Structure 1
Amino acid sequence: MTDVTRAEYAVIACAELFRGDGEIVVSPMGFVPALGAELARLTFEPDLLLTDGEASLVTADGVVEGWQPFRKVLDTVVPHGKRHVVMGANQIDREGNQNISAIGSHAKPAKQLLGVRGGPGNTVNHRTSYWVPRHSRRVFVDRVDVVSGVGYARAASLPYHDVYRVVTNLGLLDFGGADHAPRLLSVHPGVSVEDATAATSFPLDTSGTGQTRAPGDDELRLIREVLDPKFLRDKEVPS
């Protein structure tokens, strides 16, 4: 199969977030991250535990295979590093802090957003990644206005804190540089390193930047024919 779209590269990058996770609960928020988790479950990570967002564990095609009420998630999963969540972000800064609460002063915001929600509990208790469908300097800021998800400077001694990676419509970032400096791991085909750095307000280590891996033929078939035959992914990430 040819003519891989930008959205399909983003799905592959999201699937790769879960490589090596094994039998843990994954909670992808957003359509493209959900496709990535389902693709990983169907291919290289068959032991992933997917949820329906309520009380059931489900297969990649939605068949219920277990029961997991929310109280069990909070008691036995979240506090012990047995979960990988992919959240959205209105702002992310160079320390890995995330903001989904408000733009401007918290006391008198210029724009009210979701509130901190589960950001603090997620980020201090288990692996957390982020999905940003519109990579821009408004999202990747020098300092977030409100800390919702906790970055490295605030959580250095917490045993399960792990801000893992950030997937965007342009590429893949992490905080694996010296002293958790942000790095540009890869760019999607058709995107240059300069495109990604220009859309980011803080410096990125680009010394090891590569290109996001292409999906294999079977992965493309699963994306196009099984997981998203209506091509809804292209609405979230236009080519």
Structure 2
Amino acid sequence: MTTPATPEPTTPEPPTRADYCAIACAEAWRDNGEVLASPMGLIPSIGARLARRTFSPDLLLTNGEAFLVGPDGSTEGWLPYRQHLAMVTGGKRHVMMGASQIDRFGNQNISCIGDWEQPARQLLGVRGAPVNTLNNPVSYWIPKHSSRVFVEHVDMVSGVGYDRAAAAGPSATRFHRIPRVVTNLGVFDFETPDRSMRIASLHPGVSVEEARAATGFDLIGATDPPTYTREPSAAELRLIREELDPRATRLREVPA
């Protein structure tokens, strides 16, 4: 009798750039405790749910309307608008927003491109960016890192950066914090004496020269060799690929 051949174990596909971006976004909420995560965008949403499922179990997630939800979308509680506003204005929310422009001190623009009197492009408008940045921690997700986004001076300040918050005084700096900026090239923060942007880590395969060439101001802080974004664990990769984003929609935003 012939013994059936034992199938060869399959080797998991290595992490894609999108997987590294998701883990980098998730890390923004590490050690945040019981705060409301407000991810804006696909990969930040994957990151927030991944953080909740792994190293930040106290994180609160919302469906964007009136309910608190679990990482699988199930309803866990009610979040009335009044309570939501209390969290927004009291430092108990951590937003991850996008940016059409961002400068070395973290000033963000989502309003217009060009001169205010006659802009070349009308964008979303200021919306809630000033309230977000002055009243709770705000990180940023930028899927296409380029010198058109990372500029010396933003055309209009929507989200407030470190220099402008400091100039406004203690009322503006009480809850103001920009933990990180995540892009398709790496992770950037403001842990410098003058609170200017630096390279915190690069995604594997990205060089310091590539990151600097795609930035419209001088980036500092890179080591030689540079620090690389940590690799997702096998358990984290399984969650991303099988439960949080089984259709691999993240690859549309950051192609493999």
CA RMSD of superposed structures (Å): 0.9
The answer to whether structure 1 residue 176 and structure 2 residue 196 are counterparts is no
CA contact (8 A) 2:134 2:175 kept: yes
The answer to whether structure 1 residue 78 and structure 2 residue 88 are counterparts is yes
Deviation, structure 1 residue 190: 1.0
The answer to whether structure 1 residue 188 and structure 2 residue 198 are counterparts is no
Deviations 1:136-176 (A, max 9, x none): 00000000001000001111232100011100000000111
Divergent runs of 4+, >2 A: 69-72, 206-209
Q: Which whole-Å CA distance do the structure 2 matches of 1:16 and 1:112 have between them?
A: 33
Deviation, structure 1 residue 204: 1.0
- Name the structure where strand makes up a greater proportion of residues: 1
Q: Which whole-Å CA distance do the structure 2 matches of 1:149 and 1:201 have between them?
A: 19
Correspondence for 1:139: 149
Q: Which whole-Å CA distance do the structure 2 matches of 1:161 and 1:121 have between them?
A: 10
In structure 2, list runs of 5 or more residues that go unmatched. 1-11
Deviation, structure 1 residue 106: 2.0
CA contact (8 A) 1:193 1:206 kept: no
CA contact (8 A) 2:208 2:222 kept: no
Instruction: Pick which of 207-216 and 42-51 moved more.
Output: 207-216
Could you tell me which of 21, 24, 29 is aligned with 2:40? 29
Per the normalisation by structure 1, the TM-score is 0.97
Deviation, structure 1 residue 125: 0.4
Q: Which whole-Å CA distance do the structure 2 matches of 1:214 and 1:16 have between them?
A: 12
The answer to whether structure 1 residue 47 and structure 2 residue 58 are counterparts is yes
Correspondence for 2:213: 198
Instruction: Pick which of 172-181 and 205-214 moved more.
Output: 205-214
Q: Which whole-Å CA distance do the structure 1 matches of 2:123 and 2:213 have between them?
A: 26
Deviations 1:83-104 (A, max 9, x none): 0000000000011100000001
Correspondence for 2:140: 130
Could you tell me which of 181, 185, 188 is aligned with 1:166? 181
Question: Number of residue pairs matched?
Answer: 238
Deviation, structure 1 residue 52: 0.4
Correspondence for 1:59: 70
Q: Which whole-Å CA distance do the structure 2 matches of 1:41 and 1:79 have between them?
A: 23
Q: Which whole-Å CA distance do the structure 1 matches of 2:120 and 2:70 have between them?
A: 42
Q: Which whole-Å CA distance do the structure 2 matches of 1:69 and 1:130 have between them?
A: 26
Deviation, structure 1 residue 72: 2.3
Q: Which whole-Å CA distance do the structure 2 matches of 1:92 and 1:83 have between them?
A: 21
- Percent same amino acid among aligned pairs? 59
Deviation, structure 1 residue 181: 1.7
